[in-house]
Amino acid sequence: MLRLIFSAFLSILLATSLSGVEYDGEKSIIFETKYDVCIIPPQVSEATAKGIKVVDVVTAKKLYDQNSYFYDAREKRHYQKEHIKGAHPVYFDVSKAEFIVIQLPKDKDEKILFYCYGETCANSYEAALAVRKLGYTNVYWLLNGFSEWKSKKYPIESN
């Protein structure tokens, strides 16, 4: 009976989205997970200690109304589907394992805000941190991300 249960479990496991990578004859198998969930989400205290201003959606809307720069750190396909109106995409360079932010303002004192899926997503935090390290002084991180912005019916656009 135990063997039958184990065989059924193994069959179900193998039928799910698995991919394998081989390293020197040793094969590692991983599960595909939703991209918008981070294993270890960044901490607000860590962000503020590194000079990133953590904001809620109401404050983000005020920054938007002041024509601040907005950057979307979600997956490209989600950005293309819809994003905060006027936001620029942030790209992840897999070869260098770093976020690439293009179309940055020349003035390093401009207000720039990064967002992604929400509090459990580290993409926007990592992108904000990368820009902060470049010397930008007014870097903001929208903690609750695109979903809360959208739920408030704030401006979004689709491609």
Q: Is residue 13 part of a domain?
A: yes
Q: Is residue 39 part of a domain?
A: no
**Which pLDDT does position 23 carry in this prediction?**
36
Instruction: Kindly state whether residues 63 and 97 are assigned to the same domain.
Output: yes
Q: Is residue 36 part of a domain?
A: no
CA distances from 54 to 15, 35, 51, 104 (A): 41, 22, 9, 19
Give per-residue pLDDT as tens, 37-86.
444 566 788 888 899 999 999 999 999 999 999 999 888 889 999 999 99
Q: Is residue 58 part of a domain?
A: yes
Instruction: Kindly state whether residues 19 and 57 are assigned to the same domain.
Output: no
Span 138-144, average pLDDT:
92
Instruction: Kindly state whether residues 83 and 140 are assigned to the same domain.
Output: yes
Instruction: Kindly state whether residues 61 and 82 are assigned to the same domain.
Output: yes
Instruction: Kindly state whether residues 126 and 65 are assigned to the same domain.
Output: yes
Decide if pLDDT at 94 tops 80: no
**Structural domain range at position 48:** 44-157
CA distances from 75 to 17, 51, 83 (A): 19, 25, 11
Decide if pLDDT at 103 tops 60: yes
Distance separating alpha carbons of residues 141 and 50, to the nearest angstrom = 12
Q: Give the CATH number of the domain where residue 64 resides.
A: 3.40.250.10
Distance separating alpha carbons of residues 4 and 41, to the nearest angstrom = 39
- Number of structural domains the chain divides into: 2
Phi, psi dihedrals of residue 15, rounded to the nearest 5° = -80, -15
Instruction: Kindly state whether residues 139 and 82 are assigned to the same domain.
Output: yes
Burial of 130 per CB tally in 10 Å (0-12, 13-18, 19+): middle
Decide if pLDDT at 93 tops 80: no
**Which pLDDT does position 47 carry in this prediction?**
85
**Which pLDDT does position 146 carry in this prediction?**
93
| pLDDT over 90, % of the chain | 40
The token pair at 69 is 């720069």
Torsion of CA 82, 84, 87, 93, to 10 degrees: -50
Global pTM value: 0.71
